[in-house]
Amino acid sequence: MPFSGVEATFWAMLAPFVAAALAPVLTQKLKHNAAWVLAAVPALIFVHLLSLVSSVASGQTYALGLEWVPSYGVTFSIYLDGLSTLFALLISGIGTFVVLYAGGYLKGHPKQGSFFSFLFLFMGAMLGVVLANNLITLFIFWELTSITSFLLIGFDHLRTASRRAAIQALVVTGAGGMALLAGFILIGIAGGSMEMNEVLASGDVLRDSNLYGAIFVLICLGAFTKSAQFPFHFWLPNAMEAPTPVSAYLHSATMVKAGVYLLMRLNPVMGDTALWTTILPLFGGITLLAGVIIGIRQTDLKLMLAYTTVASLGLLVMLTGAPNTVAVKGAVIYLLAHSLFKGSLFMMAGTIDHEAGTRDITKLGGLRNAMPITFAAAVLAALSMAGLPPFIGFVAKEVLYDGAWNTIGSGFVIALVALCGNVLMFALAMAVALKPFLGEKVETPKHAHEGPILLWAGPITLALSGLALGLLAGYAGYLFVNPMVSAVSGLAYGKELYLLPHHLNMALAMSVITIALGVFAFLRIDYLRGLVDRILTTIGWGPDKGFDQLITLVVRFSDRFTRLVQGGSMVTYMRLSFASVAVMLFVPMMVTGNWPTMVGFENLAYFEWAFVVLAVIGLYAVITAKNRVTGIVSLGITGFSVAVIYTLFGAPDLSLTQFMVETLSVVILALVMTRLDLKPKDVRSKEDRVTDGVIAGGVGLGVAMLLMTIVRLPFDSTLPQFFTEYSYSIAHGRNLVNVILVDFRGFDTIGEIAVVMVAGLSVLALIRVRPKKSQSEKLVEPVKEAAE
């Protein structure tokens, strides 16, 4: 594949994984300075994608594919349009600075190498999610982001809180991923294709399909869990246990937007239905309000930012659901603005934590002189978040108010919710950016001073990008926003974007209200915090607690269930297993009424009868045997008789095997008996004997009847003909059985011998298990029970 042009995107997708492999070695050699080298990878990806922007902006889309699993229609294919290109740009662009930041933040950490590794794995996965064209490929990358997120949240795995947060994130997003897979498969069935570009071109097929409801619910479950929508929002604030570079990258700028990406992606073919325009704004709106309200309560910088992220995701989902192109455009610009300012603010919070030793807002103040660059970055980013001109955040807010207000039907409600959310977001932005820096100098655990360049390069660059995009709104609109709006709305969109509105409209009025109320809320933030705190304490229950209760419930249930089916008595296991087999054998015959008929017995020769009789004698000997060893040996009589019958009916291979298996099972059973420390005699009660007899008879009769049914079926000679014809001519063997085993069906045999080997290993392991002295009493009980 060429290294330039659109096909190089494949290399761009591979690059992060290569970097993940190299990162530990590089970090060992160069220590934290490895970040400079590693950051070149996402930077190059960014440059590559940037080179495609102009052609994407002119309306070009690319769909390229490599075959992966052709038999299941899975291709490794990518799709580049306005939506995926902008996402990929954000992932690689912010990724560059996050890698640098991680270099400074985890400087000297013994596991910095593996941290870089996980970070790059995540980057690769995330690029895969947004670039994948095939739905199955997308799903695989989607799950990979969940797994890498788990590794990164639990990076500090010695802390209980980290582990809990990591598992919680994995369970919530993993469960959503399962729903998503089902949704994708249904899309494939309803839409007739697993390729995104073909699905997108299918017009109203999905909307008209009677599977639409199911697809909608499943896709929403996947998207809502990933993008932390109410009521699944709780995992995101908990994920703040991760080191700050992770919070900045995964849990604000990129991964949590995967759900929004998916909804935007499917908007052209699934949007504009009553379901879509109700559910999305409803849950998005609740998430927005819940996010900002709970956010107000927090005093930890990272948690405040995390809740505003939840709120922003709610806003994005709400706007994506609004049946209005301008609202979608607002969502697109807001998404761009949010990635920049939130990434920057998180890094700023991390720097403060790193340098001052705390990130509790009540314990910080007056850092402006100690950390001037961080202060500048914080203010620039917060102004964008607050939606003040001339930042891109202002443009976003103007457009989204305009879009929300003009949405037919629900416009007023959506606009009002957006307004409330933005007011509190404004207050939070100010609090996060100003509180630690202004006011009197407060003593902090560490003596605060400006961090190294690795720590401030990212926040300041991202914050300045927000300013630049705002000033150059026209270019940003043409290059990034309009192509993405076209992709999300499914219609070519080419309206110009301005920084300042050309005339007074409702949106501007709402902006003014937002700022006025926002300033007021900021000044009264301590009062609001107390208020929210009191209300939430009164409620006392939240989804986070609910998650714990659910997990406890599941554990308790599985505990009970395990006790029920794994009681420790081997007799019970055997009875249950064989009774189930008997039921499985008889139920189909009963249901279909397809009972076998007796055939062929009258054709038996006298010596054939002799062996049948011998088998029955063996059976009689087993039942009446005085002790166990006699019983086992008598079992051999029946086995050998059956083996002879095989020979008589022309199956020498089968017969030979049967002979050997019989011999060995007698030997091994006898050995097992000696080990089990059993009483030589059978000491079961009469009832037990009857029960066991009924089960044994049932299984035996069932198998016999099944065989009789099979024999009655018309004989299909295709396979035998094929094997007789080709066995010698192409496989050079006259023994059909052997040729099938080692040649025609050789792959099956590989599987089988692997099973034999693993079974042998397991038996070996089980025999080697020796109960500890303290447990031996407990373990002897069931064994004795089994014997009796």
Partner 1 sequence: MNTVIFRTIAPYLSALMMVFSIFVLLRGHNEPGGGFIGGLIAVSAFAIYGIACGVAAVRRAMVVHPMSLAGIGLFIAVLSVLPSYLFAQAPMTSQWLIFDFLGSTMKLSTPLVFDIGVYLVVVGAITSIALSLEERDVD
- Which residues contact partner 1 by CB under 8 A? 652-653, 656-657, 660-661, 663-664, 667-668, 671-672, 674-675, 731-735, 737-739, 741-743, 746-747, 749-750, 753-754, 756-757, 759-761, 763-764, 767-768
Contact 470, 390 (CB under 8 A): yes
Least distance between partner 1 and beta carbon 66 (Å): 20
- Using DSSP, state whether 230 is helix, strand or coil: coil
Task: Give Cα separations from 69 to 11, 64, 136, 540 (angstroms).
Answer: 20, 16, 10, 50
- Residue among 43 and 676 whose Cβ is closer to partner 1: 676
Least distance between partner 1 and beta carbon 756 (Å): 5
Describe the crossing of helices 506-523 and 411-434 by its angle, rounded to 10 degrees. 40
Q: Which tokens hold the place of 382?
A: 């917060």
349's CB contacts (< 8 A; 6+ apart) are: 244, 301, 302, 305, 359, 432
Least distance between partner 1 and beta carbon 752 (Å): 9
Least distance between partner 1 and beta carbon 578 (Å): 22
Return the closest-CA partner of residue 522 out of 396, 435, 397, 415: 435
Contact 578, 699 (CB under 8 A): yes
Least distance between partner 1 and beta carbon 779 (Å): 17
Q: Which tokens hold the place of 349?
A: 């919070």
Polymer length in residues for the chain: 788
Least distance between partner 1 and beta carbon 684 (Å): 24
- Using DSSP, state whether 75 is helix, strand or coil: strand
What values do phi and psi take at 541, rounded to 5? Answer: -115, 140
- Residue among 409 and 751 whose Cβ is closer to partner 1: 751
What is the number of other CB atoms lying within 10 angstroms of the CB of residue 30? 14
- Give the span between the Cα atoms of 417 and 285, in whole angstroms: 6
- Residue among 525 and 632 whose Cβ is closer to partner 1: 632
Least distance between partner 1 and beta carbon 136 (Å): 24
- Residue among 583 and 730 whose Cβ is closer to partner 1: 730
Return the closest-CA partner of residue 328 out of 83, 53, 60, 54: 83
Least distance between partner 1 and beta carbon 640 (Å): 14
Least distance between partner 1 and beta carbon 735 (Å): 5
- Residue among 661 and 719 whose Cβ is closer to partner 1: 661
- Give the span between the Cα atoms of 563 and 508, in whole angstroms: 65
- Residue among 590 and 667 whose Cβ is closer to partner 1: 667
Q: Is the dihedral of CA 196, 202, 207, 209 positive or negative?
A: negative
- Residue among 54 and 735 whose Cβ is closer to partner 1: 735
- Residue among 28 and 762 whose Cβ is closer to partner 1: 762
What values do phi and psi take at 65, rounded to 5? Answer: -145, 150
Q: Which residue has the tokens 């505990």?
A: 559
- Give the span between the Cα atoms of 441 and 432, in whole angstroms: 16
Q: Which tokens hold the place of 27?
A: 């970090």
Least distance between partner 1 and beta carbon 495 (Å): 56
- Residue among 550 and 667 whose Cβ is closer to partner 1: 667
- Residue among 192 and 652 whose Cβ is closer to partner 1: 652
Least distance between partner 1 and beta carbon 662 (Å): 10
Return the closest-CA partner of residue 86 out of 121, 116, 56: 56
Q: DSSP letters of 609-628?
A: HHHHHHHHHHHHHHHH-SSH
- Residue among 4 and 674 whose Cβ is closer to partner 1: 674
